[in-house]
Amino acid sequence: MNERMRTTAIAAISAVALLAVAGAARHPGGGEPKPDPQVLRGRQMVLEHGCADCHGGGTNPAAPGFLAGMRDTLGQFRIGPFITRPRNLTPDNTTGLGRFSERQIFNALRFGLRPGETPDVEITSTTPGQGNYPLHPKYLAVPMPWPAFRHMADEDLRAIAAYLKRGLKPVRNLVQDSDGPPDFWASEYTAEKIGTYPAPAYPTANEK
């Protein structure tokens, strides 16, 4: 290989290498962009926990209106004199969760606090007025099963928030707010009725 040939070969190899580097930057690992593992984990959690059974789409993420909230009155719940309406969980700005932070969604799942009525802060206590836990907490309406979901691991709840915010396309679907006086559900969510978070240490009197 003479000098000229060597120079040409180096240039060609360099060009290929550059292209490869550029391609890797666009598509890590080559081919299609790889989904964020946190978003995928969140999708798994959402499907396992049947979120879309109430919030739209059932168990099929390809179904129209998947997680976009109730579409007609068949999807609502009558709780005593009040009506609960499963809301739009897609990241649409004014009708969905688009303007809520992942931390607010995490706080909804961990503490049952309504994202639209709770400051966007890290909460470190479950005692009202302490550790950023609101003095007058506003809870998600019954039957949202957050008292069960709150026992999921932090990273799983964060993954759900990541999936709802970053893994879904926004769908505009305005769901009328659920009924109920502002302090109504507070009396339903006392430690006597739903237990504590974290759960009591194992084993309790029922366990061995």
Partner 1 sequence: MTRRLALIALPALVVATAGAAAQPAPRDLTPAPRTVEVSLTAAPARLSLVPGTTTDLLAYNGTVPGPVLEFREGDHVVVHFRNDLPVMTTVHWHGFHLPFPSDGSPFHPVAPGETYDYEFDIPPGTAGTYWYHPHPDHETGWQVAHGLYGAIVVRAPDDPIASLPERVLVLSDNRLNPDGSLDLPDPGSHAGVVDRENGREGPLLLVNGQEMPELEIRSGEVQRWRIVNASAARMYRLTIPGHPLLWVGTDGGLFERPVEVPDITVAPSSRVEVLVRGTDAPGSRLVVFDLPYDRYIPQTRRKGWNCPRRLLTLRYTEEPPRRQAVEIPATLRHVEPIDTSRVTATRLAVLTQGMINGRMMDMKRVDVDAPIGATEIWQVENLVGMDHPFHLHGFRFQVLDRNGVPEPFLAWRDVVNVPSHETVRFVVRYDDFPGKWMFHCHILDHEDHGMMGVLQVSQTGEK
Q: How far is the CB of 136 from partner 1 (least distance, A)?
A: 7
Which of positions 116-155 make contact with partner 1 (CB under 8 A)?
116-117, 119-120, 136, 138
Bridge partner list, 82: 79
Angstrom CA distances, 24 to 32, 49, 52, 177, stand at 11, 35, 35, 46
Q: How far apart are CA 128 and CA 120, in angstroms?
A: 16
Return the residue of 8, 59, 60, 94 that touches partner 1, per CB under 8 A. 94
Q: How far is the CB of 178 from partner 1 (least distance, A)?
A: 8
Q: Are 67 and 89 in contact (CB under 8 A)?
A: yes
Return the residue of 44, 76, 101, 126 that touches partner 1, per CB under 8 A. 101
Give me the torsion for CA of 166, 172, 173, 175, rounded to 10°: 70
Which residue from 148, 128, 181, 122 is spatially nearest to 50, judged by alpha carbons?
A: 148
Return the residue of 16, 148, 183, 200 that touches partner 1, per CB under 8 A. 183
Which of positions 69-88 make contact with partner 1 (CB under 8 A)?
81-82
Stretch that binds partner 1, among 68-76, 94-102, 146-154, 157-165 (CB under 8 A): 94-102
Q: How far apart are CA 126 and CA 27, in angstroms?
A: 43
Does 48 bind partner 1 (CB under 8 A)? Our answer is no
Site of interaction with partner 1 (CB under 8 A):
81-82, 93-95, 99-101, 104, 114-117, 119-120, 136, 138, 174, 176-177, 179-183
